[in-house]
Amino acid sequence: MQERSQELKDFIKKNSSLFWYTPEDELNNISNELLVETILNYGDMIAVKELLSLMGRDKVAKIFFDMINISERRMNNFNELTINFFSLVFSKYV
């Protein structure tokens, strides 16, 4: 299990409704990839900004680009509009 800051644990708990399929006692065990994928796809802009602040813009961008470039299946985990929007944003600001 990866070590997470208390702030990131609180963030996951605050957005736990987005992880409805994950048992509550397993929320802190979700991967960074799943966290980024879920927040970018389904979180509101406040959640996205908080994620970027907590994890760092560079780290979130790296996870995002790694996921969309690693395989067609992983890329399909993101909505088409999400891929387009965050590709443009991260390319310009990271």
Fill in the DSSP letter of residue 22. S
pLDDT for 2 equals 64
pLDDT for 14 equals 96
Q: Model-level pTM?
A: 0.89
Domain span including residue 11: 6-93
The answer to whether the beta carbons of residues 86 and 52 sit under 8 Å apart is no
- Could you list the mean pLDDT of each consecutive 10-residue stretch along the chain, which spans 94 residues? 84 94 90 95 97 97 93 82 95 87
> 16 in a domain, yes or no?
yes
> 21 in a domain, yes or no?
yes
Rounded CA-CA distance 42/79 in Å is 9
> 79 in a domain, yes or no?
yes
Task: Give me the half-sphere count of Cα atoms (radius 13 Å) on the Cβ side of residue 19.
Answer: 23
pLDDT for 3 equals 77
